[in-house]
Amino acid sequence: MADKLIIVESPAKANTIKKFLGGSTKVVASMGHIRDLPKSKLGVDVEHDFEPEYINIRGKGDLIKSLKKEAKNAKKVYLATDPDREGEAIAWHLAHILDIPEDSVCRVTFNEITKETVKESIKKPRKIDMNLTDAQQARRVLDRIVGYKMSPLLWKKVRRGLSAGRVQSVAVKLIVDREEEIEKFIPEEYWNIFATLLDENSNKTFSAKFYGKDGKKVEIHTKEQVDEILKNIGKNKFIVTDIKKGEKKRTPAPPFTTSTMQQEASRKLGFTLKKTMSVAQGLYEGVHVGEKGTVGLITYMRTDSTRISEEARSAAKKQITNAYGEQYYENRYYKTKENSQDAHEGIRPTYVDLEPEKIKEYLTTDQYKLYRLIYNRFLASQMATAIYDTISANIDVNQYNFKASGQTLKFKGFMTLYVETTDDKQEEEENTSIPDLIINQEVIKQKIETKQSFTEPPPRYTEASLVKALEEKGIGRPSTYSPTITTILERRYIEKEQKQLVPTELGKIVNKLLTENFSDIINVEFTAKIEENFDSVAEGKENWKSIIREFYGPFQKQVEKVEKELEHVELVEEVSDVPCDKCGRMMVIKYSRYGKFLACPGYPECKNTKTIVETIDIPCPKCGGKIQIRKSKKGRKFYICENNPEKCDYISWNTPAKN
């Protein structure tokens, strides 16, 4: 008989913990959820105060039998599932199945899977937190109601197998709305004027940019304005009228949250959200690192807090001062933003002395890349400010004003180790220099250049920028970003072109149907408000069923109204110019999860279908034939010659170059 039985979610986590405890302690895995709502029906009793009808998950019968047997043979059972709402709910379901009383002190959590933390946590078990469990139940039940009531409307009006969801449909709406913005965007012309000037004292040239007239900023929109300015500048002298010297400081980014880790791994490493979370899970659950044995290398990776423990802070101080010197260390505290669930620390390495290079040989390439990113970001967050010397000069010619500026990095500080990227600017700000100028001196015009540009539409979302938008708008929580984006990609509501997320025709149709008929639900404000309600449940301020009650009445009425209105509405199908070669009717364009295809409108009498072959206006580089665009099973585009394989073997992931 085992003294203790510890149940975790995954075998990897079980193996790591087992090595820390040994003796008569047994550690087993539940393999994630063991009970859930049934797939075949709503599974929520709307007649009896929304009681969920949980069932054991199909295929887990043997595992449940085994868990019951192990629990019976143990003196004490600890439920050590993940330290978040989802993990709390799994622990609650396990307690139900194993007949553990609800008020039993059986719950332990590990923010990091290290020997010290695991042993300490087991000494401090607690009761299952029903507030956290109920917050997860509220999300599960509300999302089930929304999905099961709205999805059948899509089946009837678009095609079977589609799904609607409270968060996924809002994510699709953001992407469709952005695409519409881009399509409607009208570029505006604007011009810049640059003067290359010579400082005769140092014999150095530098660039100054046109600012305005008589000290006021002037925007240039036409060639006529440019010509007028150049004419008035003529051969007049460029005189330095003002010089400002200063200092610019740059502070490090805080330790990672789930969202910032996903964004940076996407930008810096090219990882998808799904890959980032999978690799991070492995680092959290444990990796064998030589003499240290198996150890969790990072803290729990689902968090929206940037808080750091005092132990981690002092370990960082020691590491930084030893490696770089006292002047590179700065004790920093980061404010966790409003609405964040501050139960966990930010994501950081568990042992600061396990430098990425030291343990590289024990990690996969992906693990090493992500661990290095997390390690460097954390250490940099406790490092000194970077300092730039700045200089700016105002240079006047006739009534016009030009500006020149430069900056030099004086002290690198945290930038020695890590610089955060964004979607719209370079990693490191460049050093630019201008000569030491003197007020009232003349600088000699070498040349003047003009540049015509056009305003650009807002960029399409990438996985990284969509996560940022979802977080900023309060849609979803750390655990939901990755599954949400994965779902809408798998449903083919959106697809990736390079790194950009583009709505498919199917996505646009589904979005139109849902936003026109459920505008109260498929909107950012409602989705964010519901998240706040879930947070109130987690804090014990609100009863979870009251949220569902309040939501269900108006929602059910709307569903009935929409069903009635759509009963006689047929979606207008786009007619192609291709006749059906079986019955002569003009074929219509239909949408499957894999894209467009042609179908005979005479279905079910005529079941003829044809694929739509998309081509590009670039000839095959090998034989001059037409290039077709196809998609792999994973939805990635590739380019193939129409004569492949009979006469030509051209095939490529990259767009062929124009000759």
DSSP for 406-427, written as a single string: EEEEEE-GGGGT-----SSS-S
Which residues touch 509 (CB under 8 Å, ≥6 apart)? Answer: 158, 571, 591
As given in the structure block, the two tokens for residue 566 are 């759509």
Angle ∠(256,259,262) on CA atoms, nearest 5: 85
Beta carbons of 37 and 56 less than 8 angstroms apart? no
Q: How far apart are the C-alpha atoms of 428 and 456, rounded to whole Å?
A: 24
Q: How far apart are the C-alpha atoms of 117 and 311, rounded to whole Å?
A: 12
Q: What is the CA 594 to chain-centroid distance, rounded?
A: 24
**HSE of 342 in the Cβ direction (CA atoms, 13 Å)?**
10
Amino acid identity for residue 401 in this structure: N
Beta carbons of 107 and 128 less than 8 angstroms apart? yes
Per the annotation, the verdict on 591 as an active-site residue is no
As given in the structure block, the two tokens for residue 538 are 């987690």
Going from the C-alpha of 310 to that of each of 83, 307, 335, 382, 413, the distances in angstroms are 20, 10, 15, 12, 22
Strand order in the sheet with 595-599: 574-579, 586-592, 595-599, 609-611
Tell me which of 54, 78, 284, 300 is the catalytic residue.
300
Number of Cβ atoms within 10 Å of the Cβ of 26 = 19
Q: How far apart are the C-alpha atoms of 352 and 315, rounded to whole Å?
A: 6
Q: Is the peptide bond before 645 cis (omega within 30 degrees of 0)?
A: yes
Backbone φ and ψ for 372, nearest 5 degrees, come out as -60, -40
Q: What is the CA 493 to chain-centroid distance, rounded?
A: 17
Q: Nearest to residue 400, comparing CAs of 242, 243, 230, 244?
A: 230
Q: Nearest to residue 312, comparing CAs of 349, 280, 358, 286?
A: 349
Q: Is the peptide bond before 656 cis (omega within 30 degrees of 0)?
A: no
Helix H segments across 235-291? 258-264, 273-285
Backbone φ and ψ for 407, nearest 5 degrees, come out as -150, 145
As given in the structure block, the two tokens for residue 341 are 């669930």
Identify the H or E element spanning 216: strand 216-217
Backbone φ and ψ for 431, nearest 5 degrees, come out as -75, 125
As given in the structure block, the two tokens for residue 416 are 């020695």
Number of Cβ atoms within 10 Å of the Cβ of 22 = 7
As given in the structure block, the two tokens for residue 250 are 């740059």
Active site residues: 300
